[in-house]
């Protein structure tokens, strides 16, 4: 049995969205090819959804929501637990599919499925902890509290680089919150969407619960744009580029819907003078080369105290020299391909701009000959102020930048438009606390002695500034998927106004 068979994927897939009873036929829809980035060859094709199909998906999801919102949250959690069971069974296959379709190495593909399992476990626990506060009323014999209610169908638009985990952060938390979800995966990774949806359909079919997990594979212009504009979808969670996020934020804001925006990062690691390089070098390597530099949390800049610059640069060059590039499903490979030719073109265009700035290339900078979208991981000596350094290039290009002292390091660190992840390697408690203080890193994630990428699911994930401000995954990120209701109950038998207001005496009125 082939990998695709094991995951219920066909060579030609004519179910690209879901209705009340699982897959809807989209036969005849415009063909989308899923391409293996390591070879450039087509893995399988999908007939995409039409605008009419979108209407069925949204109606199904809206009806499912009406039923699901009344299911007790701990019972909702049990459905998610079953999905976690299936993910545990299929971890190896699904991890391999992520590798095959997106190009990250198998270790990271499996790691991504592990994130799904972890968030599912988190969501099951959360299903008994959707706590609201209770407040003391200023009036006697009044009870005041808040409760969290389900919000509605949630639109989840995910990117190619985490083709399954980001769905789970959203959909599994939304599920225990009582929401249905409509997932639009990236057009580069439709097969990952189909594989996950097959698991959801199986679990739902046996459960007696409504079809709360919906999928829609189609072009951004046909179905994505429709969903973003649709006032039946109160929340859009979007992961992708800053320009696209700005446009989505504007459209959803215009209709006063909510968004969770998870946009670009320009993540830096500060290497303090006394940093332990046996920790810093592997962390920088994983952050910059892992997933071929295609995580939002990828390390893009390393700020190095100028006296330590040569030592750190040499250690990095030597580590980069040992990175094996090739088939992401091979055990020894550390770096797979970029996702497509467009990404290779972006890598080359960035290198041209680096050269225009007079940037010194310390390692790499070449596209690999042969099939597939392979490039060399690249190290550049750069200035933080260069325009290209200010931008997120979704490729393994690492900028090494000198600083004088901790103030200079933090100033340079924060002097980019994005604010996702950050880290400092130091054994100096004052440097560490400065970095974590209100005057330190301006990012949503700030770490000491671990890198910028590979965050655990238990924390709230997201960032500031042009990263969009959204938070998903752990901590209290669940609140974004619910609506808060404040309730006051008067059991005093008297009608008393707040703020001590007296408004005539009508107590005898019938
Ligand atoms: C992303 O790149 O969109 O922290 C998400 C990390 C992963 C998630 C990255 N847990 O690198």
Query: What is the mean pLDDT of each successive set of 10 residues along the chain, which is 510 residues long?
Result: 96 93 93 98 96 94 98 98 98 98 98 98 98 97 98 98 98 98 98 98 95 95 93 98 96 98 97 96 98 98 96 98 98 98 98 97 96 98 98 98 97 98 97 97 98 97 98 98 98 96 84
Ligand 1 in contact with 454 (CB < 6 A)? yes
* Residues contacting residue 20 through CB under 8 Å, at least 6 positions apart: 60, 63, 211
Instruction: Kindly state if the Cβ of 452 falls inside 6 Å of ligand 1.
Output: no
Q: Which ligand 1 atom is the nearest neighbour of the CA of 262?
A: 3
Beta bridge partners of 258: 235
Atom of ligand 1 nearest to the CA of 159: 3
* Residue 420 in contact with ligand 1 by CB distance below 6 A: no
DSSP for 160-226, written as a single string? SSSTTHHHHHHHHHHHHTT--EEEE--TT-HHHHHHHHHHHHHHHHHHT----EEEB---IIIIIHH
- Predicted confidence at residue 220, as pLDDT, reads 85
Most ligand 1 atoms within 8 A of CB, residue of 98, 117, 296 to mutate: 296
Asked if residue 162 has its Cβ within 6 Å of ligand 1, the reply is yes
CB within 8 Å of 476: residues ≥ 6 apart: 460
CA of 491 to the centre of ligand 1 (A): 50
Residue showing tokens 């990428």: 453
Residue 347 Cα, ligand 1 centroid: separation in angstroms?
20
Q: Could you tell me if the CB of 124 is within 6 A of ligand 1? A: no
C-alpha dihedral (98, 104, 105, 111), degrees to nearest 10? -60
Ligand 1 lined by 455 (C-beta under 6 Å): yes
* C-alpha to C-alpha distance for 474 and 460, rounded to whole angstroms: 5
What is the distance between the alpha carbons of residues 401 and 356, in angstroms, rounded to a whole number?
17
Among residues 279, 358, 366, 259, which one has the least CA distance to residue 319?
279
What are the φ/ψ torsions at residue 441 (nearest 5 degrees)? -60, 135
Dist. CA 297 → ligand 1 center (Å): 6
Give the residue, by CA position, lying nearest to ligand 1 atom 3.
296
Index of the ligand 1 atom closest to the CA of residue 455: 4
Q: Which of 318, 263, 298 is nearest to 108 (CA)?
A: 298
Q: Which residue has the tokens 């190290």?
A: 379
Q: What single-letter DSSP state applies at residue 478?
A: G
Q: Cα separation of 376 and 366, whole Å?
A: 6
Ligand 1 centroid distance, CA of 479 (Å) = 21
Report how far ligand 1's centroid is from the alpha carbon of 144 (Å): 39
**Ligand 1 pocket check for 471: Cβ under 6 Å:** no
CA of 462 to the centre of ligand 1 (A): 9
Q: What is the DSSP letter of 44?
A: E
Task: Point out the ligand 1 atom lying closest to the alpha carbon of residue 115.
Answer: 10
Residue 301 neighbours by CB distance under 10 Å: 23
CB-ligand 1 contact for 453 (6 Å cutoff) = yes
Q: Long-range contacts: 30-36, Cβ < 8 Å, 24+? A: 30/219, 32/187, 32/190, 32/217, 34/101, 34/188, 34/189, 34/190, 34/191, 35/188, 35/340, 36/100, 36/101, 36/103, 36/372
- Which atom of ligand 1 is nearest to 461's Cα? 4
DSSP three-state, residue 390: helix
What structural domains does the chain harbor?
3-263+468-485 (3.40.605.10), 267-460 (3.40.309.10)
Residue 351's Cβ-side half-sphere holds a number of Cα atoms within 13 Å equal to: 21
Q: What are the residues whose beta carbons fall under 8 Å from the beta carbon of 30, sequence distance 6 or more?
A: 47, 48, 219
How high is the pLDDT of residue 510?
62
Closest CA to 222 of 440, 392, 53: 53
Q: Cα separations (Å) of 178 from 57, 72, 112, 157, 480?
A: 18, 8, 25, 19, 12
- Determine the distance separating the centroid of ligand 1 and the alpha carbon of 448, expressed in angstroms: 18
Residue 333 near ligand 1, beta carbon < 6 Å:
no
Bridge partner list, 263: none
Q: Are the CB atoms for 169 and 461 separated by under 8 Å?
A: yes
Kindly give, in sequence order, each residue whose CB lies less than 8 Å from that of residue 45, ignoring residues fewer than 6 positions away: 11, 12, 13, 31, 32, 33, 34
Would you say the CB of residue 297 lies under 6 angstroms from ligand 1? yes
Q: What angle, 0 to 180 degrees and rounded to 10, lies between the N-to-C axes of helices 73-102 and 106-126? A: 170
Name the token pair of 114. Answer: 């592990």
How far, in Å, is the centroid of ligand 1 from the Cα of 421? 10
Mutate to test the pocket of ligand 1, among 162, 266, 394, 474 (most ligand atoms within 8 A of CB): 162
Show which residues are catalytic. 262, 296
d(CA 469, CA 400): 27
Bridge partners for 304 per DSSP: 271, 402
């Amino acid at each position: 049995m082939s990998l695709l068979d094991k995951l219920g994927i066909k060579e030609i897939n004519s179910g690209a969205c879901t209705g009340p009873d699982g897959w809807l036929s989209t036969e005849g829809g415009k063909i989308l090819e899923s391409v293996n980035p390591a070879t450039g060859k087509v893995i399988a094709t999908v007939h995409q959804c039409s605008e009419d199909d979108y209407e069925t998906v949204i109606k199904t999801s809206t009806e499912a929501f009406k039923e699901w919102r009344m299911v007790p949250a701990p019972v909702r959690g049990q459905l998610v637990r079953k999905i976690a069971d299936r993910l545990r069974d299929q971890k190896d296959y699904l991890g391999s599919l992520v590798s095959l379709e997106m190009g990250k190495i198998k270790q990271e593909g499996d790691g991504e499925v592990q994130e799904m399992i972890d968030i599912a476990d988190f969501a099951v626990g959360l299903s008994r902890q959707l706590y609201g506060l209770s407040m003391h009323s200023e009036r006697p014999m009044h009870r005041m509290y808040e409760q969290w209610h389900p919000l509605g169908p949630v639109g989840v638009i995910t990117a190619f680089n985490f083709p399954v985990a980001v769905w789970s952060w959203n959909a599994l938390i939304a599920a225990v919150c009582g929401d249905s979800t409509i997932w639009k995966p990236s057009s580069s990774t439709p097969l990952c969407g189909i594989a996950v949806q097959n698991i959801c359909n199986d679990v739902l079919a046996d459960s007696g619960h409504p079809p709360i997990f919906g999928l829609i594979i189609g072009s951004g212009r046909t179905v994505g744009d429709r969903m973003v504009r649709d006032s039946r979808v109160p929340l859009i969670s979007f992961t992708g580029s800053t320009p696209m996020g700005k446009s989505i934020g504007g459209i959803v804001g215009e209709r006063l819907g909510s968004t969770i925006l998870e946009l670009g990062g320009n993540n830096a690691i500060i290497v303090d003078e006394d940093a332990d390089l046996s920790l810093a070098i592997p962390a920088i390597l994983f952050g910059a080369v892992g997933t071929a530099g295609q995580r939002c949390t990828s390390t893009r800049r390393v700020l190095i105290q100028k006296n330590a610059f040569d030592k750190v640069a040499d250690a990095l060059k030597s580590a980069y020299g040992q990175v094996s590039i090739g088939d992401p499903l091979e055990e020894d490979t550390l770096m797979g391909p970029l996702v497509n030719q467009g990404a290779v073109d972006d890598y080359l265009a960035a290198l041209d701009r680096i050269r225009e700035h007079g940037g010194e290339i310390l390692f790499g900078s070449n596209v690999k000959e042969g099939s597939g979208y392979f490039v060399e991981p690249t190290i550049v000596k750069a200035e933080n102020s260069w325009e290209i350094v200010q931008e997120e290039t979704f490729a393994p290009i690492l900028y090494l930048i000198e600083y004088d002292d901790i103030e200079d390091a933090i100033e340079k660190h924060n002097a980019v438009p994005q604010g996702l992840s950050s880290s400092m390697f130091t054994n100096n408690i004052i440097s560490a606390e400065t970095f974590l203080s209100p005057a330190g890193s301006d990012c949503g994630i700030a770490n000491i002695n671990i890198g910028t990428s590979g965050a655990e699911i238990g924390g709230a994930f997201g960032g500031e500034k042009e990263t969009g401000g959204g938070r998903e995954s752990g901590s209290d990120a669940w609140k974004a998927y619910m609506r808060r209701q404040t309730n006051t109950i008067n059991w005093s038998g008297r009608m008393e106004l707040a703020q001590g207001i007296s408004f005539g005496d009508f107590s005898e009125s019938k």
